[in-house]
Amino acid sequence: MAAPIGADQLLAALRGEGLKVVEVGAWRTRSRNHMGPWGAVHGVMIHHTVTRGTAHTVAMCRDGYSGLPGPLCHGVIAKDGTVHLVGHGRANHAGLGDPDVLRAIIAETRLPKDDEATVDGNRAFYGFECENFGDGEDPWPAVQLDAIERASAALCRFHNWGAGSVLGHLEWQPGKPDPRGFTMPSMRDRIAARLGHPLPTKPLPIPSRPVVSLSKLVAAARSNPRLVGTPVTYTGVITVEAALVDEGLLAKRHQDGHYGTTTVTAMSDWQEECGFRGREPGQPADGIPGRASLTRLAAKHSFTIIA
Q: Quick check: 257 and 250 in contact, CB under 8 A?
A: no
Provide the pLDDT for residue 236: 87
Strand pairing category for 166-168 and 43-48: parallel
Provide the pLDDT for residue 202: 46
Provide the pLDDT for residue 1: 52
Residue 40 has pLDDT above 80, yes or no: yes
- How far apart are the C-alpha atoms of 192 and 147, rounded to whole Å? 14
pLDDT tens, residue by residue, 142-201: 999 999 999 999 999 999 999 999 999 999 999 999 999 999 999 999 999 999 865 444
Omega before 147 within 30 of 0, i.e. cis? no
| Mean pLDDT computed over 14-35 | 95
User: What are the structural domains, with CATH classification, of the chain?
Assistant: 7-195 (3.40.80.10), 211-306 (no CATH)
Q: Quick check: 259 and 221 in contact, CB under 8 A?
A: yes
- β-strand partners of 65: 68
Q: Quick check: 175 and 95 in contact, CB under 8 A?
A: no
Rg of the chain in Å (alpha carbons)? 19
206 pLDDT band (50/70/90 cuts)?
very low
Residue 205 has pLDDT above 80, yes or no: no
Omega before 281 within 30 of 0, i.e. cis? no
pLDDT tens, residue by residue, 115-134: 989 999 999 999 999 999 99
pTM: 0.67
Provide the pLDDT for residue 162: 94
Provide the pLDDT for residue 200: 46
Provide the pLDDT for residue 201: 45
* 3-state helix/strand/coil string of the chain: CECCCCHHHHHHHHHHCCCCEEECCCHHHCCCHHHCCCCCECEEEEEECCCCCHHHHHHHHHHEECCEECCCCCEEECCCCCEEECCCCCCCCCCEECHHHHHHHHHCCCCCCCCCCCEECCCCEEEEEECCCCCCCCCCCHHHHHHHHHHHHHHHHHHCCCHHHEEEHHHCCCCCCCCCCCCHHHHHHHHHHHHCCCCCCCCCCCCCCCEEEHHHHHHHHHHHHHCCCCCCCCCHHHHHHHHHHHCCCCCHHHCCCCCCHHHHHHHHHHHHHCCCCCCCCCCCCCCCCCHHHHHHHHHHHCCEEEC
pLDDT tens, residue by residue, 62-119: 999 988 999 999 999 999 999 999 999 999 999 999 999 999 999 999 999 999 899 9
Report the chain's mean pLDDT, rounded to a whole number: 91
